[in-house]
């Protein structure tokens, strides 16, 4: 069994906690360890905040009003993707991945110790196991995707599918 969901959210600050709560509820229901759930929720919060702040489509002078969040909990991995329709990451060397996303590494800038902004992407990299920053080809916009190997709560009931706890051994 796997769980996945996708949300199309308005680019408003109020949408960020909605996505975070849905992720935390999904993880709790599935039996994921709370520490892993918390780390993923912080990373999701940062990615959503970036989409809200930077995700407008500037090509026609009007900002896009929406961004997309998709989460997959499949087996031992949780993968999250946040996509917007803004200007995307600066284009340095871009490599097409064959999925409609070209990879672009955002410029690594160190935030000043007292800065209020500039730590989000680095925080996502620290909290997730694998991270990809890219630009959507053709349509424009940034895509931040990340995944993490999940650990299960010790009290999570075992299931045949491995969701909600360790897989049940069939004898």
Pairing mode of beta strands 101-103, 2-10: unpaired
- Residue 40: inside a domain, yes or no? yes
45 or 120: which carries more pLDDT confidence?
A: 45
* 90 has pLDDT over 70: yes
Which pLDDT tens digit goes with each residue over 136-154? 877 778 999 999 999 999 8
Domain of residue 73: give its range: 2-149
Which pLDDT tens digit goes with each residue over 49-83? 999 998 875 555 555 689 999 999 998 999 999 99
Give the integer Cα–Cα distance in Å for 44 and 151: 18
Give the integer Cα–Cα distance in Å for 70 and 31: 19
The vertex-46 CA angle with 4 and 127, nearest 5°, equals: 75
- Residue 157: inside a domain, yes or no? no
Residue 159, beta-bridge partner list? 167
Sign of the torsion formed by the C-alpha atoms of 59, 65, 70 and 71: positive
* 39 has pLDDT over 90: yes
Q: What is the mean pLDDT of the chain?
A: 81
1 or 100: which carries more pLDDT confidence?
A: 1
What percent of the chain has a predicted confidence (pLDDT) above 90? 53
Task: Give me the number of domains the chain comprises.
Answer: 1
- Residue 165: inside a domain, yes or no? no
Least confident piece of the model among 70-79, 94-103, 156-165 = 94-103
Residue 79, beta-bridge partner list? 72, 147
CATH number at residue 63: 3.30.565.10
The half-sphere exposure of 105 on its side-chain side, counting CA atoms within 13 A, is 5
- Residue 87: inside a domain, yes or no? yes
Length of the chain: 171
- Residue 112: inside a domain, yes or no? yes
Query: Per-residue confidence at 12, pLDDT binned at 50, 70, 90?
Result: very high
Report DSSP letters for 101-123, one per residue.
EEE-PPP--PPPTT-SSS-HHHH
- Residue 159: inside a domain, yes or no? no
């Amino acid at each position: 069994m796997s769980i996945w969901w996708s949300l199309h959210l308005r680019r408003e600050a109020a949408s960020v906690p909605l996505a975070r709560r849905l992720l935390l509820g999904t993880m709790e229901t599935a039996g994921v360890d709370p520490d892993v759930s918390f780390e993923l929720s912080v990373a999701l919060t940062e990615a959503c905040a970036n989409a809200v702040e930077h995700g407008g489509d500037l090509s026609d002078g009007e900002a896009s009003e929406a961004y997309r969040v998709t989460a997959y909990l499949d087996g031992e991995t949780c993968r999250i993707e946040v996509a917007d329709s803004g200007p995307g990451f600066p284009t340095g060397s871009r490599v097409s991945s064959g999925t409609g996303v070209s990879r672009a590494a955002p410029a690594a800038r160190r935030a000043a110790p007292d800065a209020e902004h500039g730590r989000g992407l680095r925080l996502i990299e620290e909290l997730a196991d694998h991270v990809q920053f890219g630009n959507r080809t053709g349509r424009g916009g940034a895509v931040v995707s990340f995944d993490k190997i999940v650990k299960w709560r010790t009290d999570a009931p075992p299931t045949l599918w491995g969701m909600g706890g360790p897989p049940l051994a069939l004898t």
